[in-house]
């Protein structure tokens, strides 16, 4: 696939419980990321077994996925905050390179 004209950036995806999501969102904003995407009620199978998705009367107990895209200079700072947070809580972190067509949206 051609990536001509695209700008390389870093995508960070975090899956945490709804209770911890606020701290992750705060960190993302604090390092200067311009935005994130949040998916609540995430379900899936992990090393602790299957995790239920959306619950009818409890929107705090399910997993939330937060996705952000940042320029390289912000990655270390974001990881410096996320890693101790995730060391103390259940959750997963994915860091990967990604390409965007409008880099100014993410700076």
| Site residues, other proteins (CB under 8 A) | 3-9, 17, 22-23, 26-27, 30-32, 48-52, 55-61, 71, 73-74, 76-78, 80-85, 88-90, 97, 99, 103, 107
Give me the least distance between CB of 6 and other proteins, in Å please.
Answer: 6
Side-chain-facing half-sphere of 64: CA atoms under 13 Å: 18
Residue 67 or 77 having the CB closest to other proteins? 77
Distance CA 80, CA 41 (A): 26
Cβ neighbour number for residue 14 with a 10 Å cutoff: 25
Smallest gap from Cβ 68 to other proteins, in A, equals: 13
CB 71 within 8 A of CB 91: no
Measured from the CB atom, the residue of 9 and 65 that comes closer to other proteins is 9
Direct distance between the N- and C-terminal alpha carbons of the chain, in angstroms, rounded to an integer: 25
CB of 91 to other proteins, least distance (A): 11
């Amino acid at each position: 696939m051609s990536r001509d004209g695209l700008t390389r950036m870093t995508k960070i995806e975090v899956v945490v419980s709804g209770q911890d999501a606020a701290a992750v969102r705060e960190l993302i904003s604090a390092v200067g990321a311009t935005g994130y995407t949040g998916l609540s009620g995430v379900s899936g199978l992990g090393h602790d077994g299957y995790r239920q998705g959306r619950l009818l009367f409890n929107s705090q107990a399910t997993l939330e996925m937060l996705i952000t895209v940042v320029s390289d200079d912000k990655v270390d700072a974001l990881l410096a905050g996320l890693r101790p947070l995730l060391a103390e809580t259940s959750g997963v972190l994915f860091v990967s390179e990604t390409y965007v067509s409008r880099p100014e949206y993410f700076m």
